Structure 1
Amino acid sequence: MRGTVPRVPTGIVAPVTIDSDLIPVTLRWAVRLVRGEAVAVGLVAAWLVWADLTATTTDLPSALLVTAFALGVAAALWALGGALLRRRAAARAPAIVLQLMLLPIGWFMIQGGLGWLGAPLIALGLGVTWLLVSPPTTRAFGLR
C-alpha cells in the first residue's frame, strides 16, 4: 500500500503557486502599441520599396537610404516590442527614446499643416512613454 496515500505536506509553510502572468496591463499595452508602430512603419517601408521600383526619375542612393532607414526602424521597433514583452529592462530606454522622437516629428507636422496626423503622433509618443515609465511596468522590470 506504499504510495497510495497522498503525502501531507509537513512544516508550517504552505505550498505556493507562482502566477505565470507577471506582465502588467500597462506593459502589455505598451508592447501592443510599439508593435503597432512597427507594423505601420513597415507598411510605409513597403510603400517606399514599391515607389523605388516604379519611379521614373529618382536619386537612387537617397531613395535606397530612406527605404533602408524605414526598414531598420520597423525592425528595431518590432525587436524592442519583443524584448519588452520578455521584460528586458535594457529595452525600455531605447523604446522611450524612439517614442520621444515622435514629439518633434508631430510638432513639425502640425507646423506644416498636417495637424490631423501630428497631434495623434505626439499623443502616441507621450502615451507609450507614460506606459513604459508607469509604476506597474517599472516593477515588472524589477527596477523598483
Structure 2
Amino acid sequence: MVVYSFYEYSKIKKLLSHKHYLSGYFVLNNLAKFSLKRFDFCLEEKVNIIAVDDDIKSGYSHTSILAKHLQNKNAKALYSAIFKSKNISYKGKSKSFRKANKKGFYLVKKPKYPVILVDDILTTGSTLMQAYKMLKKEKIRVLFAVVLADVKD
C-alpha cells in the first residue's frame, strides 16, 4: 500500500504534542488546511475517505479533522466506519509490542466506493496495515493511505 505523508514528524513534533488537548484541534485543523486541503489528487472515480481510529478523544477526533480536509468533489469522508475492538495505545511502544498487540479493527459502515485511509502519524505502519488488511478481508479496495507526519525510523 502506498502511503503519502506531508511532514517529517521531527519537524512538527512540538505542534503535534498538543493533539491530546483542546489546543490540538486548532493545530491539526491548520496543519490539515496547509497540507491535506492542497493535496491535489485527481481521481475519476468516487472514493470514500476513512479516518483510522476516529473515535472521540480529548473532545475531538484527530483523524476526522484530517479526513475532512482531504475531501474534494469525488472524495467524501465516511466517518466512524472502522473501530478498534481493543483499547490499545501504541504511543511510545516498540514495533514488537505493536505486532504482538493488534487493535482488532472491525467494520461499522461499509463504504460504497474504494477507500483512501487517513491517519495522523506513521510510526511503524502497524495501525494502517491492520486497517488495510481488515478492509481487504471485507473485499474493500484501498487505493492508498495519507498521513500527516511520518516518523521515518
Query: TM-score with structure 2 length normalisation?
Result: 0.26
Which is richer in strand?
A: 2
**Rg larger in 1 or in 2?**
1
Which is richer in helix?
A: 1
Query: TM-score with structure 1 length normalisation?
Result: 0.27
